[in-house]
């Protein structure tokens, strides 16, 4: 279920008075890409019918990349896929993927919710609408409006990143692509390191 049926980023921005600001904030952090993973991903990219649906894109391209990246940060972050999120409509639905703090209780959702990934075949405006709605839901649930929450919209081949701080959405205008996998992994590594930092930042007044 889509978040509130939002169809465009402008629609969400107007409803919640979010300033949209282009800003190249991602600072790629290089990391080694496993060669076996690189070969598997390239095989699926060339041979799998990834252009037939968003589900195919998600299964063959986006999920493998996120899973591979998550393993490097799984000591402090948990990944969730297509589970219910949000407290009330219209900021309620099923994000494609999101990351939260890894709970000491095991595989249970724990705050803060810090990174959301939305897949779309080619309609990035709709993807960002859904992604921002999920980020706003997380902002409400975290109850720390100035804490950065990160987002990504991806067609599988192209990946874009943004961060929500207060009432401003900073959108990095650059795209990162599967054809330049090392650059994509470096960008994701930076965003996940930022998310990890937020997961480890204690709430004011708590130990």
Partners of 165 in beta bridges: 168
Q: What is the pLDDT of residue 201?
A: 81
| Domain that includes residue 43, residue range | 9-200
Q: Is residue 195 part of a domain?
A: yes
pLDDT digits (tens, 9 = 90+) for 121-173: 778 999 999 999 999 999 999 989 889 999 999 999 999 999 999 999 999 99
d(CA 46, CA 14): 40
Q: What is the pLDDT of residue 158?
A: 96
Q: Is residue 185 part of a domain?
A: yes
- DSSP 8-state symbol, 61: I
Q: Is residue 29 part of a domain?
A: yes
- Has residue 205 got a pLDDT over 50? no
Read off the tokens for 39: 């070969």
- Has residue 204 got a pLDDT over 60? no
Query: Per-residue confidence at 207, pLDDT binned at 50, 70, 90?
Result: very low
Read off the tokens for 66: 């996120």
CATH of the domain at 69: 3.90.1570
Q: Is residue 189 part of a domain?
A: yes
pLDDT digits (tens, 9 = 90+) for 60-91: 999 999 999 999 999 999 999 999 999 989 99
Q: What is the pLDDT of residue 4?
A: 63
- Calculate the CA 138 to chain-centre distance: 12
- Has residue 2 got a pLDDT over 80? no
Q: Is residue 51 part of a domain?
A: yes
Helix (H, G, I), strand (E, B) or coil at 164: strand
Q: What is the pLDDT of residue 206?
A: 44
Determine the average pLDDT of the residues in 78-107: 93
Q: Is residue 64 part of a domain?
A: yes
Shortest CA distance to 191 belongs to which of 162, 155, 156, 170? Answer: 162
> What is the number of domains present in the chain?
1
């Amino acid at each position: 279920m889509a978040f509130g049926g939002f169809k465009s980023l402008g629609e969400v921005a107007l409803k919640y008075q979010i300033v949209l600001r282009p800003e190249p904030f991602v600072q790629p952090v290089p990391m080694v890409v496993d060669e076996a993973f690189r070969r598997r991903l390239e095989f699926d990219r060339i041979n799998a019918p990834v252009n037939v649906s968003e589900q195919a894109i998600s299964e063959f391209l986006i999920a493998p990349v996120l899973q591979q990246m998550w393993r490097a940060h799984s000591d402090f972050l948990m990944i969730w896929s297509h589970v219910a999120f949000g407290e009330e409509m219209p900021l309620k639905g099923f994000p494609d993927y999101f990351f939260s703090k890894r709970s000491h209780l095991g595989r249970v959702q724990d705050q803060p919710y810090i990174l959301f990934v939305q897949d779309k075949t080619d309609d990035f405006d709709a993807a960002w609408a859904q992604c921002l709605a999920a980020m706003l839901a997380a902002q409400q649930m975290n109850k720390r409006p100035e804490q950065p929450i990160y987002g990504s919209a991806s067609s599988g081949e192209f990946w874009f990143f943004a961060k929500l701080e207060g009432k401003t959405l900073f959108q990095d205008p650059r795209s990162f692509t599967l054809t330049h996998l090392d650059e994509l992994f470096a960008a994701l590594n930076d965003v996940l390191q930022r998310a990890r930092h937020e997961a480890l930042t204690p709430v004011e007044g708590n130990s």
